[in-house]
Amino acid sequence: MPNTPVELHVISDSTGETAVRLVHALEAQFPAQEFEEIRHPRVETVDDLNLALNRAKNRPAVIIYTLVHPELREAARALCRRYRLHYCDLLGHPIEAVARVAGVAAQMTPGARAPLDSSYFKRMAAIEFAVKYDDGVAAGLHEADIILVGVSRTSKTPLSMYLGYLGYKTSNVPVVKGIEPPAALFNVEPSKIVGLTIDAARLQEIRRQRAARLGGNQRAYAELLEIYAELEEAKEIHRRLGCPVIEISELSIEETAARVIRLVERRKTEGRGRKEAKVS
């Protein structure tokens, strides 16, 4: 018998994107449970709030809200208790904690955006870099913070864009059977190179789906024996580079990015330690 769907009501005085990101992470922890995500954006008055919560009353529901104004947060808490709804206040406690430590009152502006500071422009420059030096453009390898090396369809391009969003200038180099990677790849700082690999059957499935979308006969592109040969060639190149390798078959872009960053930062730290030891 299937599980009763749990309603996740996302209530916000802005667009609700902050809460939605948490909701998606929450859903991932219950893979066997069915959910219904219900958004209530631009909730700006107690009447708006009451309308949203009335919809969840007597339902298998969890209320998740990001409300900036203290009066609305208090009203949400009181109404949820009155209607016996489970609830989670995502902004209230963090705002209060930061205000106490900083000794400065929060601005209390719904939908307030982060300032266009140096970190913002760094992220924009890194995204532009990822676009400019996508798919093996060797000119960007020395300037890159991170270099990804793997066969086609190992998420190199979307991963490069996401790492760019996080502020890392990322270049990617495809491994193509029978074609030597650019010579510059073997002359850059090794600590910034990370290899990507994937299960052969999973790669075959991805490539067949792509071939079907393109509508052509690309059998050789999706042939399993050919894929094994490509993966072996990639493994040999990874070995020559001496780089760590991440298996991405079951990983999201966000998870892969986090692992890439940890590997690169750790290898850079270890490299600095070895240099300092030689000097001393």
pLDDT of 113 reads 55
Q: Does residue 184 have a pLDDT over 80?
A: yes
Burial of 15 (0-12, 13-18, 19+ CB in 10 A): middle
pLDDT of 208 reads 81
User: What is the Cα–Cα distance from 119 to 115, expressed in whole angstroms?
Assistant: 9
Residue 185 near residue 173 (C-beta atoms within 8 A): yes
Of the candidates 69, 67, 60, the one whose C-alpha atom is nearest the C-alpha of residue 19 is 67
Residue spans per domain, the chain: 6-102, 118-279
pLDDT of 1 reads 37
Banded pLDDT at 13 (limits 50, 70, 90): confident
pLDDT in tens, 228-261: 999 999 999 999 999 999 999 988 898 999 999 9
- Please give the CATH topology (third level) of the domain spanning 6-102: Rossmann fold (3.40.50)
pLDDT of 116 reads 58
User: What is the Cα–Cα distance from 212 to 219, expressed in whole angstroms?
Assistant: 10
Q: What are the two backbone dihedrals, phi and then psi, of residue 274, each rounded to the nearest 5 degrees?
A: -65, -40
pLDDT in tens, 260-279: 999 999 998 887 777 666 76
Of the candidates 38, 98, 39, the one whose C-alpha atom is nearest the C-alpha of residue 68 is 98
Of the candidates 191, 188, 135, 143, the one whose C-alpha atom is nearest the C-alpha of residue 160 is 135
pLDDT of 181 reads 92
> What are the CA-CA distances from residue 188 to residues 139, 140, 164, 234, 243 (Å)?
11, 11, 19, 18, 12
- Please give the CATH topology (third level) of the domain spanning 118-279: Rossmann fold (3.40.50)
Residue 156 near residue 150 (C-beta atoms within 8 A): yes
Q: Helices (DSSP H) in the chain: which residue ranges?
A: 17-28, 46-56, 70-82, 92-102, 118-132, 156-165, 200-214, 219-222, 224-241, 253-279
Measure CA 119 to chain center. Answer: 18
Mean pLDDT, residues 29-55: 91
Mean pLDDT, residues 29-41: 89
User: What is the Cα–Cα distance from 39 to 27, expressed in whole angstroms?
Assistant: 15
In angstroms, the first-to-last Cα distance of the chain is 68
| Residue 220 three-state SS | helix
pLDDT in tens, 45-103: 999 999 999 999 999 999 999 888 889 999 999 999 999 999 998 887 777 777 777 77
Banded pLDDT at 224 (limits 50, 70, 90): confident
pLDDT of 76 reads 95
Cα angle, residue 249 at apex, residues 243 and 253 outer, rounded to 5°: 80
pLDDT in tens, 93-143: 777 777 777 776 666 666 555 555 678 788 889 989 998 888 777 778 999
